[in-house]
Amino acid sequence: MDSKEVVKAHQMSYWTQVLHERTMSGEKIEDFCRNRGINKHSYYYWQRKLRDIACSQLAEQNAIRESTDLVPRGFIEIQLTDPVQHPLRTSVATGHGAVRVDIGAIRITANTGYPTEQLAELLKSLAAIC
pLDDT, average across residues 90-98: 53
pLDDT, average across residues 46-55: 90
Contact 43, 77 (CB under 8 A): no
Predicted structure pTM score: 0.48
The answer for residues whose C-beta is within 8 angstroms of residue 63's C-beta and 6 or more apart is none
Domain coordinates of the chain in residue numbers? Answer: 3-68, 72-130
pLDDT in tens, 64-90: 666 655 555 555 555 545 444 444 444
Contact 104, 88 (CB under 8 A): yes
pLDDT value at 113 more than 80:
no
Collapsed DSSP state (helix, strand, coil) of residue 92: strand
